[in-house]
Structure 1
Amino acid sequence: MIGVGLIGYGLSGSAFHAPYVHVTAGLELRAVVSRDPAKVRVNRPDMRVVPDVTALLAKPDIDLVIVASPDALHAEHAVAALGSGRHVLVDKPFATSLADAERMAAAAAASGTLLTAFHNRRWDADFLTLQDLLASGRLGRIVSLESRFDRWRPTPATTWKEARSGGSWYDLGPHLIDQALVLFGRPLGITADLASLRNAAPAPDYFHAVLRYPDKRVVLHSTKLAAAHDLRFSVHGTDGSWIKHGIDPQEAAVLAGKLPGGAGWGHDPQDGTLVLPGAAPAPLANRAGDYRLFWQALARAIRGEGPNPVPPADALAVIELLDAGLRSSAHRVEVLL
C-alpha cells in the first residue's frame, strides 16, 4: 500500500485529489496538511491532520506527497518532499516560474524519486475523443485548432486564486497548453494577449494565445466574461471539421459529492459534430472520460510497473510556454521557442 500525504485541503485537495486517492487501489490517504482540521474532518472524520509540511515529512508511512498548496509554494513544498525521499505529485500550475520548475526537476533527478504533474485533462472525454479522431485521419491534415475554456463569472471572487500571478493564464492555461503539446508537440513560437477585462479584476481574466507550427495554428482562448461559453473545440483539417460544445462532466460530478466510478462515470452526453465535405453534419459519440486512469498509472509507476503518466519534461514544457506567453503579452511580440 502506498501511503499518501496531501498538502492543502482547498478545492483542489478536497475535490481533485482526496476522492481519487480513495478509489485507487494501492493508494491510501494517511495525512493532510491543513490549518483548519475541522474542515478536513467534515467528510474525513478519522483523518490525521498535521499543521505543516515538516510534520508531514516526519511521518514514516508517507510514500507519496501531493502538493496542492497555493501556487507560490509548489516549488518549496515539492523540493522538500523530494529531498526527503518521497514521490511527488504537483497540482497545476507545476510552478510559477521556469527556474522553479527546473529546480524541482533537478531535485527529483537527484533523489531518484518520481515527480509528476496533475494534468488530469488529458483524460477528458472530449480530448480522448479528439485524439482518436486525429489518429483515424478522417479530418486529413490538421490546419487549425481552437481550444477554449470560457466562463461567465462577471464579478471577481475575493480569493487568492483570482489574484494569482498570471491570472487565468496560470489557472486554465496549463490545461490547454498541455493538451496542445500532447497533440502536436512544441511549437515554433507563441503570440499571447493577456488582459484584465472585468471591473476590479486583480489579475488577467482573459487570454488569447496563438501557437505557431510549420503547417498549422493552434489558438488557446479563455475569458470570464462570456455569457455564451459553451464552445470547447473547433478543429479544421484538409478533409473535414469537428466542433465540440460542452465540458467534461467529471469535475462537476465530484463537486456534487459523487465518488469517481460507477455506471456512466465520465460520460459526456454532448457529442461533437463531424462535418465532412459532401455529407450532412453528424454527431460523433464521445469516449468516456476517466481521471482515474491518471491515478492508476501513477500507482503503477511508483511500484515500478509502468511509466510516469506525466514526466517532469512534460511539466517543464508547459511552464516554458506559460512563461513565454507572459513575455509575449508584456512586449506585444511573438516569442520564439
Structure 2
Amino acid sequence: MGTGFIFFLNYRVEIIKSFMKESVIRAGILGFGKSGRNIHAPLIDACRSMVLKNVVTRTGPEQIPGRNEVNVMRSAEELIRSEDTDLIVITTPNHLHYKMAHDALTAGKHVVVDKPFTVTAEQAHSLTRTAEKSGKVLTVFHNRRWDGDFLTVRNLISRQAVGRLVEFESRFDRFRNYLKEDAWKEKDLPGSGILYDLSPHLIDQALQVFGVPNKLFADIRNQRWGEADDFFMIRFYYDDFTATLRAGMLVADATPRFVIRGTMGSYVKYGFDPQEEALARGDDPHGAEWGHEPENKFGVLRTADGDSFREERIPTAGGGYPQFYRNIADAVNGKVDLQVKPAEAAEVIRMIELALKSQKSGTVVDC
C-alpha cells in the first residue's frame, strides 16, 4: 500500500473526526417579541449547526404557531436552568441585559445579547470577564456589520473611490410623530431612547472602519416631548476627517443612509438594507437573491473628471445576516474566532457614555 494512499485515508479520517466533533447547538431565545420572532429565530434556522429549542415569552399561547417543536417557557430562570439549552439569545429590554447575561454565563450557557450590549461600559467589561472565566462564548448582535450598503461603503473607502476622505455621514432616520404607550424603548428607563436603540448600529460600523476617534461631540434631544430621547447627532473627530452619525424620529423628508465625501468626489446612498424587512416577510435566507438590492436602489458615485463630473451607479454588495449565527456556531465548536468580540461591543457602549458626557457639558470630549 503506497504512502500516498495511506495519507489519503488519514486525511479522510481527520475530516470525519472534525464532523463528529461538531455538535448541534441548542438555542433558546429569552424574549420572543418582534426581534426574537422575526429576526433571531429565522437566522438561527438558517444555521445548519443550530436548532431553536426553547423560547421565553410571559404571555401568549403554549405553542408558537408553525413551531410545534419549540418549547415555550414563562421565565428567564426556567430557560437559564434548562439542560437542553446551550446558547441563550437575550432580546429583553436593555436594562435587563446585564443581569440576564451574567446569570446565563454563570449557569454555563453561551450568550448572545441583542444590542445594546449593556447600559454601562463597566457592565460590559464585567460580562466579558465572566465569559472568560466560564470559558463560554459571549457576543453581541451587531448584525449591521453585514448590511450590504455598509459593506459597499467600506469597500469604497478602502479603495479611495472618492479620493482622500474628508467627511463620512451615516443616518438612520424615521418619521413617527406620536409615542407608543406600551413601548419600553420610549419610557424613562436605563438604556431606553433612540441613543441606545439605534446609535449602537452606527457607532459599531464607524469603529469597524475607522477605529476609535480622537474626540467626539454629541447633541441628544427629546423632540416629541416624551420620556426618552428621540434624536441624536454624534460627530467623531479623526485626524483628517469627521464621521457624523445621526438618527431622529421626526424626519419626514428623504435623507441618505450614507454619504462619503473626499478630494475626488462623493458617494450617496439612499434606503435601508433589505434584510430585516425580508426576514419579517418570511423570506428564505438561503435564497440566491438574499440580501441583494435592485438596481434602482444602488448608490451614486460622483467623481471629478476634468472640468465636469462622472456619475456611476455602484451595485450594492449582498448582505449577509446569516453569517452572524454561522460564525457563533463555528466559534462554539472551536473552529474560528468570534467576529463580534465583546471587547468591541463594550467600546460601543463607552462611546455612548462619552456622547452623554458631551451632551451634558455641551463640549467636545476626548475619547
1:170 equivalent among 192, 196, 211: 196
Match of 1:314 among 341, 344, 350: 344
Given that 1:144 and 1:217 are in contact with CA atoms closer than 8 Å, whether structure 2 keeps it comes out as yes
Residue 196 of structure 1 deviates from its aligned partner by 0.7
The within-5 A match list for 1:107-256 is: 107-158=130-181, 159-163=183-187, 164=189, 165-198=191-224, 200-256=225-281
Mapped to 1, the partners of 2:354 and 2:146 lie a distance apart of 26
The structure with the larger Rg is 2
**Which letter maps to 1:187?**
P
SS of the residue corresponding to residue 244 of structure 2 reads strand
Q: What is the Cα deviation at residue 211 of structure 1?
A: 0.5
Q: How does 1:230-309 map to 2 (within 5 A)?
A: 230-269=255-294, 270-278=297-305, 279-309=309-339
Pairing 1:324–2:354 present? yes
How far does the alpha carbon of each residue in 1:266-323 deviate from its partner, in whole angstroms, 9 at most, with x for none? 1122101001101421111111112011111111111111110200111011000011
Q: Deviations over 1:182-219 (max 9, x none)?
A: 00000112100100112x42211110110111111000
What is the aligned partner in structure 2 of residue 41 from structure 1?
Answer: 64
1:197-246: CA deviations, max 9, x gaps? 12x42211110110111111000011111111341011012222111011
1:231 maps to a residue whose letter is P
Aligned residues: 336
User: Is the Cα–Cα contact under 8 Å of residues 144 and 216 in structure 1 kept in the other structure?
Assistant: yes
Is the contact between residue 152 and residue 229 of structure 1 (CA under 8 Å) also seen in structure 2?
Answer: no
The one-letter code of the counterpart of 2:313 is: P
Q: Any residues of structure 2 matched to 1:89-108 within 5 Å, and which?
A: 89-108=112-131
- Give the SS at the match of 2:218: strand
1:166/1:217 CA distance change after superposition, 3 Å: farther
SS in 2 for 1:41: coil
Distance 1:271 1:41 in 2: 38
How many angstroms apart in 2 are the aligned matches of 1:58 and 1:302? 20
Distance 1:139 1:63 in 2: 46
In structure 2, the gaps of 5 or more residues are: 1-23
CA contact (8 A) 1:9 1:40 kept: no
SS at match of 2:205: helix
- Residue 40 of structure 1 and its aligned partner are, at CA, apart by 5.9
Distance 1:41 1:68 in 2: 17
Gaps of 5+ in 1: none
TM-score w.r.t. length of structure 2: 0.88
- 2:363 aligned residue: 333
**CA–CA distance in 1 between the matches of 2:83 and 2:260?**
49
Instruction: Provide closer, same or farther for how the CA distance between residues 32 and 110 of structure 1 changes in structure 2, counting only shifts above 3 A.
Output: same
Partner of 2:257, secondary structure, is strand
Q: Percent identity?
A: 38
| SS in structure 1 at match of 2:39 | helix
**Which residue does the alignment assign to 2:49?**
26
Distance (whole Å) between structure 1 residues aligned to residue 118 and residue 125 of structure 2: 9
Q: Distance in 2 between matches of 1:162 and 1:132?
A: 36
Q: CA deviation at 1:263?
A: 3.1
Q: 2: CA distance between counterparts of 1:186 and 1:290? A: 25
Instruction: Find the aligned partners of 2:95 and 2:62 in 1 and give their Cα distance.
Output: 22
Q: Distance in 2 between matches of 1:48 and 1:142?
A: 51
Q: CA RMSD in A?
A: 1.4
**Partner residue of 1:53 out of 72, 76, 94:** 76
Native 8 Å contact 2:186 2:228 kept in 1: yes
Distance 1:310 1:273, change over 3 A: same
